[in-house]
Structure 1
Amino acid sequence: MRILVLDGVSEKGIDILREPGFTVDVIEEKLSEQQLVEMIPAYDAVVVRSATKITAPIIAAGVNLKVIGRAGVGVDNIDVQAATQHGIIVVNAPDGNTIAAAEHTLALMLALARHVPQANEALKKGKWLRKEFTGVELRDKILGVIGLGRIGTAVAKRAQGFAMKVIGYDPYITHERAREIGVELVSLEDVYREADFITVHLPKTKETVNLINREALAKMKPGVRIINVARGGIINEQDLYEALKTGKVAGAALDVFEVEPTTESPLFELPNVVVTPHLGASTEEAQVNVALDVAREIVTILQGGMAQNAVNMPAIPKEDALVVKPYLALAEKLGKFISQLTSEFENIEITYAGDVACINTAPLTTAIIKGIMESYSDVPVSYVNAVQLAKGRGLRIMETREEEAHDYTNLITVKLTGGPCPKAVGGTLFRDNDARIVLIDGYRIDMVPEGYMLVAPHIDKPRIIGRVGTLIGEHDINIAGMQVGRKQVGGRAVMVLAVDNVVPEAILGEIAKIDGIIDVKFVSL
């Protein structure tokens, strides 16, 4: 076995790769795409950090390539889709920088509270300014942690050592798990309203971009201090700038930015802002840890084992592939669909009925969990780690099988329970593997699980559907399809509208005000 190592990966990781007797070639200089295309056919594995891009042409040329390792968390420099199409496993090291990022968060919090960078700069310029740099203590302050994954949890535990009260928001962690780590689980609104310090530990997704914006900042207590060592773009920088200027926000400490690298920003001009150039994972220990983690994964795979941190789907056993694969896309979409209907639950209940109950459903359960977890994890979610991540959040996964699917040949039902608003969704495959969502909370519908949808439980009475259609039409949002499920005239019903465009939050708010509308959710598949 031959392994190519690029980008200055730690020597300790390289030693791990050599232990089984593998041939390891280490190249320090930057290689072009064409050079890698010419070299890669000779290798079974390649390891990179962030400098080298492993593109589709390189992957296509890697006729012997079995695994691509990223010594770090992000895999933006690897064409994961192309790797998956070629049957190549992509692995990363999601745990290696957890402590580094958590400690950097605390470092920024302390620097922000005690004006450390500003005082350092002033003293070096010959100014002894004690009164001007009076700070605040962390003791007895309320820390709001948004996102309680690995890094958020590590921050929460360490903040308790400073005698801080820690509250947290994470829709995919149970109250039981939160209590175990000493965190009071609250709503996002409560974090905004109560916290003296707020730290963000979320992945950057369509749901989290601009999460902290003008409206969110307005809900926070005067004098709040904000820290971001997660991803740039989660905080709207212009809105934060305005809040810092007015004093609504007392200070901000930022390690990440909307555009990177950058040396220019209006935020850099403010005296109450502390900044660092994306140093969250930049410790000697973290760089060694990620190299060791990814090296062990590569050795495991090349020796025929199953990796723990693959970010794409491993191959399904050949004997199951033909039967299971048609259900995989449906299963994952059911998970994605239901996760957008509710954010508070503790149990994932999956029922397989009819023909699907007779096959190997383990990959389907993993696909459902992957769909549920995908938008809310601080690490990439794959078919390998989805269940592990869910259980790590304290979620309980229950699977049952039923011989009959009643009106369907096969039926997969997913329920999210244990929260204030339990939800259920069912899907089936018709002839020619035509996937459909056929049940929402017990109401019959018939929708293709793709694109954009509005899901609106409501009271079954005249003019509600018309008013919703008129409202979104006034905003130039076209309706592509409509389904209404009800059990009795005048009772509760559910309306599902397939639409051609994203429906903004403001319009969802207007729909929610329509008399008879119980709730409305925008779903993107």
Structure 2
Amino acid sequence: MTATATRTFRVLVSDPVSEDGLRALLDDPTIEVVVKTDYTPEELAAAIGDFDGLVIRSQTKVTADILEQANKLKVIGRAGVGVDNVDVPAATRKGVVVLNSPEGNTMAATEHTWALLLALARKVCPADASMRAGKWDRKSFTGTELYGKTLGVIGLGKIGGAVARRGQGFEMDVIAFDPFVTQEHARGMGIRLVSVDELLQQADFVTIHVPKTKDTADMINAERLATMKPTARLINCARGGVVNEAALAEAVLNGTIAGAAVDVYSAEPPAADNPLVLASQSGCISLLLTPHLGASTEEAQIKVAVDVAEQIRDYFHGIPARSAVNMPALPAELIARLQPYISLMEKMGKFHGQLTDGAVQSVEVIYSGDITDENTTPLIPAFLQGLFEPILGAGMINSVNARFTAEQRGVEIKEVKSTESSGYETLVTTIVRTEQSEHRLEGTLFGKGNARITRVDEYWVEMAPEGQFIIAYHTDKPGIIGAVGQILGAHDINIAGMQVGRVHPRGIAVMVLAVDEHPSDKVLEKIRGIEGVGDTRLVEL
């Protein structure tokens, strides 16, 4: 860090994480990293208010109570895949981005799945224990081959897909269940898609690679285990709670299935009375348990930490997180293309927020032209952030909690892609309705992302949304513009630019004055006092 550098952001690392993995944070002169891995929940709640970022693995539990104290926190980075230990809805309400590293441990989890599957098929662990006991017992540990067997993969994501490809390398017939994968995509992988029940009935080895959700909790229960082949084996390196542990222990012990290997548990570490632990301790050689080692390789530990550290650093510097779990994950190239629109939408939202009176009832956004061909997902949150920031105050709303905040306030949100020609290559129209008023803005981009607001209500203007503006509705008649200029001149306020929009001569018009100096409330009141001048606002963009 240079002598003049200022530490702007503070990041707490509350679980053991590789120092090499944190290098992106440690080397950034604007970021201070504090490593403390022995907090109690109460101590973390007391300390978290001093930090902008938090890096965790699976040990730290980020609860709603802790988040309630996190008034500066902007981002939580989970060095790994699962975020079961983070109250994501509470983080979203607080406006905190939760990001993870979904690909950093792909190879580690894939290889551990195969380590367990092969060890289970060839009874490696009980054979090793027998040798350690001084025995030479070959008959008790006859295994089964993989060649020609059917591998059933539940979940064809990054890890499930990698497991499936390696199954094909063993010349296994691979079938899979994944409701989010098309038949065409599966066929391209050489995999046959089936229902989960068909998979369990047909597979010789079943391996699970899905997150735990309300739809997958207890997905593999006693009823489904009873449909499996008595020679089948099940491997779970995904998430605890997807397989009913009591039902699985019973199925292995009574021979309903030939064996199981488990790396994840409904509670970690598992309690002493966990049915799987008890079955293992009873001497069952058909059950193989490991203590959540799926991501535990030297390479994976560094990869996930590097990924999370880079995302946190980038997020602090205005680059959207690529793996946020409570924000849409969008390709970097799309974000780059949309960045001028995101900026325009936030500015239009701020304009509305300073133009609007009363509680917002509805927001309508209409896209026309080239923008209709894009994924506009990030644009509404940007607009809502701008809209509510003048109302709620800076720091109280961001792109993470913007939609939640609007919906919590009962705001109806409507988004339309129009095929009608607007006269511009691209045009965004925003309409905000409140209990007291309705205001409409139109904005566009010229050239290389040069933003312009082209309409205020029914009045045509052309203004770059940058700086501070006096917006004055007035009767279109001689003398008013001069009177406004005299008031500003008397208070040494320089006019940087002026636009006047009107529909009819001598009707109502809008005056948009860009000013270099900040006009006081007293100055604005004097302008309102000019005969023929109505609603007058200061809009800061």
TM range (shorter): 0.5 to 0.7
Aligned to 1:100: 108
How far apart, CA to CA, are the structure 2 residues paired with 1:242 and 1:88? 42
Deviations 1:153-178 (A, max 9, x none): 11111122212111111110012221
1:66 partnered with 2:74 = yes
Q: Percent identity?
A: 49
What letter corresponds to residue 204 of structure 2 in structure 1? D
Which residue of 162, 173, 180 corresponds with 1:154?
162
Aligned to 1:221: 229
TM-aligned CA deviation for residue 41 of structure 1: 4.0
What letter corresponds to residue 279 of structure 2 in structure 1? L
Q: How many residues align?
A: 350
Contact residue 357 and residue 403 of structure 1 kept, 8 A: no
What letter corresponds to residue 248 of structure 2 in structure 1? L
Q: TM-score, normalised on structure 2?
A: 0.58
How far apart, CA to CA, are the structure 2 residues paired with 1:53 and 1:251? 33
**Match runs of 1:16-27 below 5 Å:** 16-27=24-35
How far apart, CA to CA, are the structure 1 residues paired with 2:74 and 2:43? 19
**Match runs of 1:123-138 below 5 Å:** 123-138=131-146
Contact residue 3 and residue 22 of structure 1 kept, 8 A: no
**Match runs of 1:445-464 below 5 Å:** none
What letter corresponds to residue 317 of structure 2 in structure 1? Q
How far apart, CA to CA, are the structure 2 residues paired with 1:202 and 1:128? 40
Contact residue 13 and residue 37 of structure 2 kept, 8 A: no
Deviations 1:442-491 (A, max 9, x none): xxxxxxxxxxxxxxxxxxxxxxxxxxxxxxxxxxxxxxxxxxxxxxxxxx
1:204 partnered with 2:216 = no
How far apart, CA to CA, are the structure 1 residues paired with 2:87 and 2:258? 41
What letter corresponds to residue 301 of structure 1 in structure 2? Y
Contact residue 12 and residue 36 of structure 2 kept, 8 A: no
Instruction: Give the secondary structure class of the aligned counterpart of 1:244.
Output: helix
Which residue of 268, 284, 305 corresponds with 1:291?
305
Deviations 1:310-352 (A, max 9, x none): 122389953576999xxxxxxxxxxxxxxxxxxxxxxxxxxxx
What letter corresponds to residue 239 of structure 1 in structure 2? A
1:6 partnered with 2:6 = no
Aligned to 2:238: 230
Contact residue 66 and residue 88 of structure 1 kept, 8 A: yes
TM-aligned CA deviation for residue 135 of structure 1: 0.5
Aligned to 1:449: none
What letter corresponds to residue 318 of structure 1 in structure 2? E
Which residue of 279, 293, 302 corresponds with 1:267?
279
TM-aligned CA deviation for residue 294 of structure 1: 0.2
TM-aligned CA deviation for residue 192 of structure 1: 1.8
1:280 partnered with 2:286 = no
1:50 partnered with 2:62 = no
How far apart, CA to CA, are the structure 1 residues paired with 2:379 and 2:163? 29
How far apart, CA to CA, are the structure 2 residues paired with 1:213 and 1:31? 37
Q: TM-score, normalised on structure 1?
A: 0.60
Instruction: Give the secondary structure class of the aligned counterpart of 1:281.
Output: coil
How far apart, CA to CA, are the structure 2 residues paired with 1:323 and 1:76? 39
TM-aligned CA deviation for residue 253 of structure 1: 0.9
TM-aligned CA deviation for residue 244 of structure 1: 2.3
TM-aligned CA deviation for residue 85 of structure 1: 2.4
- Answer with 1 or 2: which has the greater Rg: 2
Q: CA separation of 1:84/1:242 partners in 2, compared to 1, >3 Å: closer, same or farther?
A: closer
Q: CA separation of 1:267/1:34 partners in 2, compared to 1, >3 Å: closer, same or farther?
A: closer
TM-aligned CA deviation for residue 62 of structure 1: 3.6
Aligned to 2:464: none
How far apart, CA to CA, are the structure 2 residues paired with 1:13 and 1:219? 45
Aligned to 2:317: 303
User: Is 121-130 or 156-165 further displaced after alignment?
Assistant: 156-165
Contact residue 30 and residue 52 of structure 1 kept, 8 A: no
TM-aligned CA deviation for residue 186 of structure 1: 1.9
How far apart, CA to CA, are the structure 1 residues paired with 2:279 and 2:42? 40
Q: CA separation of 1:190/1:357 partners in 2, compared to 1, >3 Å: closer, same or farther?
A: farther
Q: CA separation of 1:29/1:208 partners in 2, compared to 1, >3 Å: closer, same or farther?
A: closer
How far apart, CA to CA, are the structure 2 residues paired with 1:90 and 1:287? 19
Q: CA separation of 1:124/1:366 partners in 2, compared to 1, >3 Å: closer, same or farther?
A: farther
Structure 1 residue runs without a partner (length 5+)? 325-354, 368-382, 385-398, 405-429, 433-525
Q: CA separation of 1:289/1:134 partners in 2, compared to 1, >3 Å: closer, same or farther?
A: same
Q: CA separation of 1:249/1:12 partners in 2, compared to 1, >3 Å: closer, same or farther?
A: same
TM-aligned CA deviation for residue 25 of structure 1: 2.9
Contact residue 213 and residue 240 of structure 1 kept, 8 A: yes
Q: CA RMSD in A?
A: 3.4
How far apart, CA to CA, are the structure 1 residues paired with 2:227 and 2:49? 56
Structure 2 residue runs without a partner (length 5+)? 1-7, 329-341, 353-363, 381-398, 401-414, 421-432, 436-541
How far apart, CA to CA, are the structure 2 residues paired with 1:167 and 1:158? 13
TM-aligned CA deviation for residue 35 of structure 1: 3.9
Deviations 1:286-307 (A, max 9, x none): 1111100100101110111111
Contact residue 253 and residue 279 of structure 2 kept, 8 A: no
